[in-house]
Amino acid sequence: MDFSGDASNNKDNRSLLKETYDELQKSFGYLLRNKLNEIHLSKSVLDLNFVELANFIKEYEATEEIITDGEKDREMRTELVRLLQNYVASVYSYNEHVDKTLKKIEYGLCKAYEKERKKIREDENVAFVRDLRRYSQHFELIPQSTSVSFVRINDSKPIFESSISVELLKDSLEKWDGWRGKSKDFIINMDESIKLIIPLAKQLRKLNELHNWVLDEIFSRYKEQIAELNDLIEEILTLQERIKEENIGRKEISWTFKKPR
């Protein structure tokens, strides 16, 4: 587009701005931008839930007061269950959101995603956390247990050091017959107990791999549409600058399309 002219071209600049903005909103790149922002928001919620849970587990395991104070223990257990349920629910919500969002973009992309997701779900930790949500819905809240051990640190005096660990117990998990495929393999292969955070952290790493695959695939498949979108954004910014120079105020559009971080 030719942006040359003076103040007399103000009307033309305003019309061009509206036309270009309308073109931007109708573009496929604009759809991609909005859908990726939705996926990024859902992933951010999931990540924040994990961080909140992991930090609370550390706090719980460092609170020796729960050994002697039953009320404090119940209070912290309640919060632990709440945060764990929030996390496993957000994993489910994220997976559903990505699936539905990609279907709105392109069928071929959705099929490629399903193939990649199937690989990820072959991981025992991913399968286990997926079924953990169903376990909490249909059997019991969360099968977590607190392990407390004491180690004598002084031979001459009875001084002991306590250690608290939030764990999953194999015998509790085995009481439910709803585990499927790889999640059942996880329970068969686990020791008598395992720290709760271990399968959650391993599952999240796999989910991060899948999330990054989605971003890379979209930016690879639709690089021309994304380039077109960014060109339209540059045109809008240029027109806004022309209008500003002519002393006509206009709210600026200050975003560009980049991979979410």
* Mean pLDDT value of segment 214-232: 93
With a cut of 50, say whether residue 3 has pLDDT above it: no
Query: What integer pLDDT is reported at residue 257 of this predicted model?
Result: 56
Q: Check residues 144 and 68 and name the one with the higher pLDDT.
A: 68
At residue 159 the predicted structure's pLDDT band, cuts being 50, 70 and 90, is low
251 CB burial (10 A radius; 0-12, 13-18, 19+): exposed
Q: How far apart are CA 51 and CA 83, in angstroms?
A: 10
With a cut of 80, say whether residue 9 has pLDDT above it: no
User: What is the chain's percent helix, strand, coil content, to nearest 5?
Assistant: 70, 10, 20
Query: What integer pLDDT is reported at residue 240 of this predicted model?
Result: 86
Give the residue carrying structure tokens 């959705």: 110
**Ordered strands of the 159-169 beta sheet:** 144-154, 159-169, 193-195
Query: What integer pLDDT is reported at residue 197 of this predicted model?
Result: 93
Q: How far apart are CA 67 and CA 89, in angstroms?
A: 30
Q: Check residues 215 and 247 and name the one with the higher pLDDT.
A: 215
What percent of the chain lies above the pLDDT cut of 90? 52
CA distances (Å), 259 to each of 46, 112, 223, in order?
A: 18, 20, 12
The pTM score is 0.79
Asked if 233 and 255 touch (Cβ cutoff 8 Å), the reply is yes
* Mean pLDDT value of segment 141-153: 55
